[in-house]
Amino acid sequence: MKKDNKTLYLIEYKMKWTQAQSYCRYNYTDLASGLDQVDEEKYEAVIKGLIPDKKFSAWVGLFRDSWRWSDGSDFSFRYWDMELFIDTQSNKTCAMTLLNRSGKWSSDECDKEKPFFCYDGEFYNNLILIKENKTWEEALYYCRENYNDLVSITNSHDQNWIQEKVKQANSPYVWLGLRYTCTLGFWFWVTDEVVEYKNWASDVTADDCDMSGAMNRGSPHKWSKQADNKMFNFICSKK
């Protein structure tokens, strides 16, 4: 079911919360998150539309650290079932939606196996990882000829989604649409966004001519300055 540019999927395989999170991030975008975007009536309608006759509980992307969403979305909407939810139970740190109680939330131990909800976001669906090794300039031309442009990252949400694509690359780094201009002495996105959000690795080299930005395939997926004649996979935006 599609809601606010997010498509929800019920996965009926039973998994632990962290396994469910990994499954969603590999196959979709993340565990169902950011449900603050719908009010109680609309949220209940979404749940009923997906699973009108189901009576079990299913994981969603909310966990306690304090309570926050798996994809980093703002946590303001609350739909706890106050008859069953006790926030002081320290061992119950992952949230589930109770399908036999109008989709209200409760918490449980994260190691229990349950079905779960994944979602695909519009931004994630707009990305394509090209598993061909090209120089930065070749990657730029390829994206512009076949899609829209090399990808830009303007906030932490973009970073989280793009790094899920990067994990699937077959090169150690993945080109981004990030370029250094020697003439003016600053980094810029080829899509004209200002470089305000930054995620450089701590050991990043000094700025130099003929350098472009790439994301490390390995965790924690920091940005790296690479000579633009090196050949890596790359990510294009479709629009």
Is residue 184 packed enough to be buried (19+ CB in 10 Å), middle (13-18) or exposed (0-12)?
Answer: exposed
Domain match, 106 and 157 both? no
Token output for 215:
């994301």
pLDDT tens, position by position, 191-216: 988 888 999 998 777 777 889 999 99
Domain match, 197 and 171 both? yes
Q: What percent of the chain has a predicted confidence (pLDDT) above 70?
A: 72
Domain match, 6 and 114 both? yes
Task: Give the Cα separation of 67 and 168 in Å (integer).
Answer: 29
Domain match, 84 and 151 both? no
Q: Range of 212's domain?
A: 126-237
Predicted pLDDT at 37: 40
| Contact (CB, 8 A) for 120 and 32 | no
pLDDT tens, position by position, 26-52: 777 788 876 544 444 545 555 566 555
To which residue do tokens 């036999």 refer? Answer: 100
CATH at residue 227: 3.10.100.10
Domain match, 50 and 87 both? yes
The pTM for the full model equals 0.57
Domain endpoint, select from 121, 155, 180: 121
Token output for 18:
């962290």
Domain match, 137 and 222 both? yes
Domain match, 112 and 159 both? no
| Contact (CB, 8 A) for 178 and 186 | no
Predicted pLDDT at 1: 43
| Contact (CB, 8 A) for 103 and 47 | yes
Helices and strands of the chain, counted as H and E runs? 5, 15
- Strand 57-63 vs strand 68-69: parallel, antiparallel, or unpaired? antiparallel
**Domains of the chain: total:** 2
Task: Give the Cα separation of 152 and 211 in Å (integer).
Answer: 16
Domain endpoint, select from 86, 121, 156: 121
Task: Give the Cα separation of 108 and 99 in Å (integer).
Answer: 14
Domain endpoint, select from 96, 121, 146: 121
Domain match, 148 and 86 both? no
**∠ CA 206-154-162, rounded to 5°:** 90
Q: Hey, is 75 helix, strand or coil?
A: coil
Domain match, 156 and 172 both? yes
pLDDT tens, position by position, 150-181: 999 988 878 887 888 898 899 999 999 999 99
Domain match, 134 and 117 both? no
Domain match, 6 and 117 both? yes
Domain match, 203 and 218 both? yes
In 56-198, the DSSP E strands lie at 57-63, 68-69, 94-98, 104-108, 114-121, 127-134, 149-150, 173-181, 186-189
